[in-house]
């Protein structure tokens, strides 16, 4: 039987799509479903078109944690992938899935992490600081935003005239290349 994983996402879901595509027909892993805290997030529709079930749960369910844990345990889920998920993961979820939750962050942590640092805000901060490189960080999730143990990082160099959109484009390319492979490595063991 394959090991079942779930993706949590709040936005457009391009990473969710890449992971689903990469793991389709995988011998030991499968994406069982995708959960979002946004009823109108494009990810819900995007993954349904790929043949993967998707569900909206309100923020209150994620904050309480128990309704989510019950849902995941009833489906036999063994690991959680955060792919553009913007809520803090609550204690009941962390306790039910110790060392089984991973997140991707669009910068080189520990720089440019923490509350409010997501999506374009990250790339704008990187630009404002005049960084000449950025990248991605994939890490385990703990009770603090972006502070769990780092699993993997990849870098891209930035040109002096790269704006936030160009930085986002370079970072997204790294995400799509590496995140599916890191998911496979972490959960396929
Ligand atoms: C990704 O760039 C991901 O790294 C970022 O949100 C984007 C989601 O894109 N996550 C964070 O900023 C978390 N702090 P997607 O919906 O197209 O996969």
pLDDT digits (tens, 9 = 90+) for 18-57: 999 999 999 999 999 999 999 999 999 999 999 999 999 9
The 3-state DSSP class for residue 158 equals: coil
- Average pLDDT of the chain to the nearest whole number: 97
| CA-146 nearest atom, ligand 1 | 14
Compute, in angstroms, the gap from residue 158 CA to the centroid of ligand 1: 19
Compute, in angstroms, the gap from residue 1 CA to the centroid of ligand 1: 30
Buried/exposed 53-79: b ≥16 CB within 10 Å, e otherwise: ebeebeeebbbbbeebbebbeeeebbb
Percent pLDDT > 70 in the chain is 100
Whether ligand 1 lies within 6 angstroms of the CB of 113 is answered as no
Q: How far apart are CA 36 and CA 55, in angstroms?
A: 6
pTM to 2 decimals?
0.97
Whether ligand 1 lies within 6 angstroms of the CB of 180 is answered as no
Beta-bridged to residue 103, according to DSSP, are: 82, 139
Q: How confident is residue 78, by pLDDT bands cut at 50, 70 and 90?
A: very high
Q: How confident is residue 81, by pLDDT bands cut at 50, 70 and 90?
A: very high
- HSE toward the beta carbon, residue 171, CA cutoff 13 A: 28
Whether ligand 1 lies within 6 angstroms of the CB of 13 is answered as yes
């Amino acid at each position: 039987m394959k090991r079942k994983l779930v993706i949590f996402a709040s936005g457009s879901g391009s990473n969710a799509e890449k992971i689903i595509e990469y793991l389709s027909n995988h011998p030991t892993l499968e994406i069982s479903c995708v959960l979002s805290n946004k009823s109108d997030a494009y990810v819900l529709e995007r993954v349904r078109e790929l043949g993967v079930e998707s569900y909206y749960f309100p923020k209150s369910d994620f904050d309480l944690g128990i309704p989510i844990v019950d849902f995941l345990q009833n489906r036999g889920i063994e690991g959680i992938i955060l792919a553009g998920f913007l809520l803090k993961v609550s204690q009941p979820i962390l306790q039910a899935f110790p060392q089984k939750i991973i997140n991707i962050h669009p910068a080189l942590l520990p720089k440019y992490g923490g509350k409010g640092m997501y999506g374009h805000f990250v790339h704008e901060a990187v630009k404002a600081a005049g960084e000449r490189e950025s990248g991605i960080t994939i890490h385990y999730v703990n009770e603090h935003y972006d502070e769990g143990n780092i699993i993997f990082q990849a870098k891209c160099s930035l040109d002096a005239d790269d704006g936030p959109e160009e930085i986002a484009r370079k970072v997204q390319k790294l995400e799509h290349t590496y995140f599916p492979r890191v998911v496979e490595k972490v959960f396929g063991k």
